[in-house]
Structure 1
Amino acid sequence: MGKLPKEMLEKYVFPRVGLRRPEVLIGPRYGEDAAIISINDEKVLVVHSDPITAACEHLGWLAVNIACNDIAVRGAEPRWVLPVILLPESRQDLLDEIMGEVDSAAKALGVMVVGGHTEYISMLKRPVISMTAMGVTYKKRYITTGGGKPGDSILMTKTAGIEATAILARDFEELLFKKGASMSLIKKAQSFISKVSVVREALILADLGVHVMHDPTSGGILGGLYEIACASNVELRVMEEKIPIADETKIFCNLLGLNPLKVLSSGSLLALIPEDKVEESMEQLRKAHIDSAVIGYACNGCGCILTKRDGAAERIDKPIEDELVNLWREI
C-alpha cells in the first residue's frame, strides 16, 4: 500500500499516455499534482484523481478535500467532483455514511458531484473511494510543482502530519490509548479532520505570484519537498527546527515510533515563493487566520537536504515511504 516508486512510473506509466494531444499543457509527470488542459485562449481545465487507501473512517470527507486540494494548488477553484465508491458488501449504511460526508465536504467547498460510480466487490475487506476533481483557471494564473527557482523561500502552512494525526486518532484510537495517550488528547486530535483542506490558502497564495504550490500527501512533508525538488530541478535546504508540528502529532508519533515529517500531511501546503513576496504572503495568510512558517530555501542542485535539530544533515534523494501506510501493513 502506498505510491509506486518513481522509477516504475517513469518506466511503465509516463511513456504510455496514448496520443499526445497539443491542448494538454501539463500531463503525467512526477510530483505534478494535476493535469492542465487548454480549453480556449484564456482558460485551462485542471483535473486530478486521488484514492483514499490509508483510512477507514471519514472516507467521503477526506476524498473530496484531498482531491480538491490538488486542484487548488494549481491556482484553480475546485468546481466538480466524481467519486468512485467500491464497497465490500451491499450495505446501505456504508453508502449512506460515505455519500453523506461527500455531500457535506462538497457543500463546504462549493463544489458539485456531477457523476461517478458505485460498485459492490466481495473480495474487498473495507470500502475504497477514489475521487476525481476538476476546476478552471486562467492560463496566466496556473501554477505547477515544477516552477521553483533558486533563491525561492519555502513556505509551509499549518503543521506537519495533519491528515495522519486525524487518521491515527480515529482508526488507531484503541492502540493509542493502550500506549498511554489520554482519551481527551485523542478526542481533541480527532478534530484535525476539519483541517485537511488547503483550498483557502492555495487560492490566497495564487493571487500573489508564488512559483510553486504542492499538497504533501503520502510521504508527508519530506516526501512533498522531495517531489518539489524533482519537479523543479532545484535543491531544497530545510531546517527541521523551523517545521511546525502540533503537540498531538508529536505525542502520537512518539508513541507509535513514527516520524512526523514522513506521515500523510494533507492540510499543510508547501509553496516556493520569491523572497520579496514572503512577507506579503504571510500577512495575507495571517488575515485569513492561517498559520505559516518559512522552513528553508531553494538553491542550485537537485534533491533535499534536511538540517536536523542536532546540526546533522540528512540528504533526501529518493521518494519517502509513508510511515503511517507502513503502520497499516504491520497490524
Structure 2
Amino acid sequence: MEKLPFGKLRNELLREVIFPNLGIEDGKVIYGPKEGFDSAVLEYDDEHYLIVATDPTLGVPAETFGFFTYHFASSDVAVFGARPRWLVIDFVLPPGTSREFLERTMEDLNGECRRFGSAIIGGHTGVYPSVRELVATTTAMGLVKREGLKLPLAKPGDRIIVTGKVALEFVVSASYFRARELKGFLTPGKLSRLRSLYRLETVLPDALIARPFVRGMHDATEGGLTALHEIADNSGLGFVVYSDRLRLNPLVEKVLDFYGLEPWSVSSTGTLIAITPPENSNQLIAELHKNGITAFELGEFTREKERLLVENGKVKPFPEFEGDPYVTLYGK
C-alpha cells in the first residue's frame, strides 16, 4: 500500500487522485481546482467574481496561531486581486486547550479582521480527544471586479518581481522549534528578533499594493520559489532567474548557511511573486518600497521553455520541488 508523503501533495497525486473526483460540473465555477491556483473563482454578478480559498493552520507556535489562521487563506484571496471580506473558521483543538489561549487567538483574529476589513461569518469550535495539536481551517472569500481578476499566468517578457521574504517562513520556524541547536550560533537577541518576524509571513498587504501593476501573483509557500514552475507550466513558458539579484534578510541567510540550504525551494510563505509587464516593473518596485516592503526583479518569463538559473556566471536548470526542507526539519 502506497503511503502519502508528508506535506502538501505533489501535483502528480493531485492529477491522479483529487482532480478526477470533484463532483458535478457547475457553470458558476470559472476556475476550480488547478495546479498553481490557490483560489477558486466563481461567477457572482455581472460585474464581480467571488474568490474563495481555504487553508489549514497547524504546526505553528501558539502565540502566532490567530495571525496565521487569518492570513494563510486570506493571502490566497488577495493574490487573485480581491480583499478578503468574509471568513469561515473551524477550530479543532486538543484536550487541555485553555480559555486564555482561545481568548488571545480571537483577539488576534479580530485585530487582523479590523485591519483588513474582514468579517467572520461562521465556523465551528470544539475540543476533541483524538486531536493532538492546535488545528484551524479557514475559508476566506472576497469580491473582485471582473476586469481586476489576477491569475497566476504569464506572458513572454513579463518580469518576476519578488518581495524580500524568501525563506523567512523556514527560518522563523527554526527560531521557535530548533532554538536549542541555534543558541550556539545566534545570540538571544537575534533569536528573539527572528521570532518577531512571523508577522511578515503574509502577502496580503503586498498584494493589495501590487494589484494595479501586475498581470498575476502567487504566494511562495511550501516549495518556495519553485512555484515558478507551476506558473510557467500553466502559461506554456520558460523563465530565467539571476541568483545575484536575490536579496535575503541577513539573519535568514545566516540560518540557511547553518543548515546548508539553498533558498530556492525553502518554505517562503509571505513572499509575493508578482508577474509584471516590463513597463510596470520599476513602478511596482518603487510603490512597494514606498510602503516599507523590500522588492526586486529576479528574472523574467521567456518564450523558450527552459527554466534556468544563472549563478556565478554559469547557467543550470532551476531547482524542482522535490521536498521542502521545512517538512523534513519539523517532521522529526
So what's the TM-score if we normalise by structure 2? Answer: 0.91
For the pair 1:217 / 2:221, whether they are aligned, the reply is yes
1:150 — aligned with what?
156
Task: Describe the SS at the equivalent of 2:90.
Answer: strand
Q: Following the alignment from structure 1 to structure 2, what is the Cα–Cα distance between the partners of residues 248 and 60?
A: 25
In the other structure, the counterpart of 2:199 is 194
Closer, same or farther in 2 for the Cα pair 1:10/1:328, shift >3 Å?
same
1:56-95 to 2 correspondences below 5 Å: 56-57=61-62, 58-91=64-97, 92-95=99-102
By how many angstroms is 1:225 displaced?
Answer: 1.6
Q: What is the CA-CA distance between 1:156 and the residue it aligns to?
A: 0.5
CA contact (8 A) 2:52 2:77 kept: yes
**Structure 1 residue 243 and structure 2 residue 246: aligned?**
yes
Question: 1:263 deviation in Å?
Answer: 2.1
User: Could you tell me whether the CA contact under 8 Å between 1:238 and 1:307 is conserved in 2?
Assistant: yes
Query: 2:276 aligns to what?
Result: 273
Residues 83 and 171 of structure 1: is their aligned pair in 2 closer, same or farther, counting only changes over 3 Å? farther
Q: After TM superposition, what 4+ stretches of structure 1 lie above 6 angstroms from structure 2?
A: none
SS of 1:228's equivalent in the other structure is helix
- Post-superposition shift, 1:28? 0.3
What is the deviation of 1:90? Answer: 4.8
Partner letter of residue 224 of structure 1?
Answer: A
The residue type equivalent to 2:18 in the other structure is V
Instruction: Report which stretch shifted further, 89-98 or 156-165.
Output: 89-98
Q: Indicate which of 294, 300, 303 corresponds to 2:297.
A: 294
User: For this pair of structures, how many residues does the alignment match?
Assistant: 325
Q: CA deviation at 1:4?
A: 0.4
Q: Which residue of 2 aligns with 1:329?
A: 331
**CA, structure 1 residues 169+107, in 2 after alignment: closer, same or farther (shift >3 Å)?**
farther
SS of corresponding position for 1:78: coil
Q: Choose from 226, 229, 232 the match for 1:229.
A: 232
Asked whether the 8 Å contact 2:221–2:271 carries over to 1, the reply is no
Is the aligned partner of 1:98 residue 2:116?
A: no
Report the Cα offset of residue 267 of structure 1: 1.8
Name the counterpart of 1:9: 14
* Aligned amino acid, residue 149 of structure 2: Y
Aligned with 2:170 (options 164, 169, 179): 164
Indicate conservation of the 8 Å contact 2:80/2:151, yes or no: yes
In structure 2, the residue matched to 1:125 is: 132
User: Which of 285, 288, 304 is the aligned partner of 1:285?
Assistant: 288
Match of 1:207 among 204, 212, 216: 212
Query: Could you tell me which amino acid in structure 2 is paired with residue 288 of structure 1?
Result: N
Mark the runs of 5 or more structure 2 residues left unpaired by the alignment: 1-5
Contact kept, 8 Å, 2:265 with 2:321, in 1: the verdict is: no
Q: Which residue, 106, 111, 115 being the options, matches 2:118?
A: 111
The 2-side partners of 1:248 and 1:64 are apart by: 26
Q: Which moved more, 1:7-16 or 1:84-93?
A: 84-93
Structure 2 distance, partners of 1:288, 1:17, is 41
User: Which SS does the other structure have where 1:324 is aligned?
Assistant: helix
Whole-angstrom CA distance in 1 between matches of 2:122 and 2:309: 43
CA 135–320 in structure 1, closer or farther in 2 if over 3 Å, else same: farther
Structure 2: distance between partners of 1:205 and 1:293: 13
Percent identity over the alignment is: 27
1:93, distance to aligned residue in structure 2 (A): 3.6
Instruction: For residue 158 of structure 1, report the CA deviation from its aligned partner.
Output: 2.1
- Aligned AA (1:137): V
Secondary structure class of the residue paired with 1:114: strand
Q: Distance in 1 between the 2:256 and 2:131 partners?
A: 29
Once the two structures are TM-superposed, the CA of residue 212 in structure 1 deviates from its matched residue by 1.7
Match of 1:36 among 26, 33, 41: 41
- Does the CA-based 8 Å contact 2:308-2:315 persist in structure 1? no
Give the root-mean-square deviation of aligned CA atoms. 1.9
2:146 corresponds to: 139
> CA offsets per residue over residues 81-103 of structure 1, 9 Å max, x none?
12221112152344334333322
Q: State the shift of 1:302 in Å.
A: 4.2
SS in 2 for 1:55: coil
The corresponding residue for 2:25 is 20
In the alignment, the residues of structure 2 paired with residue 233 and residue 117 of structure 1 have an alpha-carbon distance, to the nearest angstrom, of 41
Instruction: Compute the displacement of 1:315 (Å).
Output: 3.5
Task: Give the residue type in structure 2 aligned to 1:328.
Answer: Y
Shift of 1:5: 1.2
One-letter amino acid of the structure 1 residue matched with residue 72 of structure 2: I
Residue deviations 1:198-240 (CA, integer Å, cap 9, x gap):
22221222122x222001110112x222222222221121112
